[in-house]
A and B are shown apart, each in its own frame.
Chain A
Amino acid sequence: MSRLDDELSNELKKALRREEPPVGFEGRLMARLSSESKRETGLARWFKLALPRFPMMSRLAFASVLCLMFVAGVHYERERQERVEGEAAKAKLMQALRVTGTELQAMREKVMASSGDRAAGE
């Protein structure tokens, strides 16, 4: 690097040196932060109280529990629907059996009646 580059680099460091914030910056910031903290109520505060330590881990655990509850809910609903459908199918089958049983009985009675007539004729 040439002396010119060194000098330019030094001048740039001086031109871009860190500047202090204006007087009163800290006070104005604290005022904003205190109004900000007042807004932290309700659910946000509850979350902070409920998950005070290891926030990231706790949130992940909380999210996992929610996911698990959702999956379990979907599974339960599917099972309930299958049970309802199964019961409806069973009821239909029973009705069909009852109808068939009645018809069989009528048929048997007819057969008995006709065989009784034949025996009487002989």
Chain B
Amino acid sequence: MVFSIALHYLHDRESAEEVAQDVFVQLYRQRDRLSGPGHVTAWLRRVACHRSIDYARSHRLDPKIGLEELAEPASEERPGDPMLREKLRKLILSLSEKARMVMILRYQEDLDPEEIARELEMPVSTVKSHLQRSLATLREKFGRALGGSLG
């Protein structure tokens, strides 16, 4: 979970490992303050999110890819296509930092907007707005490829 959050956020395996290691070292230092597996999981998730955001800021890892630079998916790309998934990942990477993390928590961790709001310390309405705007962008960009197979 920790490595995966960092990987999807930073899109770089080496940086993701660095962040994940830091998170576990921090967990080790604060082990006395945490009680129960549920608490530890929530703590790990929250710290992984914030550490990833901080890492991207401090290492200036903001993606250089703009939405307009992403090519439209080819008409032969269909749901289940690994190329399509990679393009989805790149598109997610081009979202703003908060919107990106909201998408990761929604689709990797399967959290609902209320839970995401708690993790990222932001209002639920902001989380919902990020989700709606990100999905609208994705729908617009990939709707043709995804809809093509659905008739």
Contact = CB atoms under 8 A, between A and B. Distances in A.
A binds B: yes
Interface of A: 3-5, 7-22, 25, 28-29, 32-33, 36-37, 55-56
Interface of A is mostly: helix
Interface of B is mostly: helix
Nearest to B35: A56
Interface residues of B, number: 37
6 contacts: A12-B138, A16-B92, A18-B1, A18-B4, A21-B20, A28-B17
Contact of A8 (B4, B28, B146): B146
Nearest to A26: B24
A37 B28 CA distance: 9
A105 B18 CA distance: 94
A120 B115 CA distance: 115
Interface in B60-103: 79-80, 84-86, 88-89, 92, 103
A12 B24 contact: no
Contacts of B79: 7, 10-11
Contact of A7 (B3, B21, B150): B150
Given A12-B88, A28-B21, A36-B28, A17 B150 contact: no
A32 B25 contact: yes
Contacts of A20: 3-4
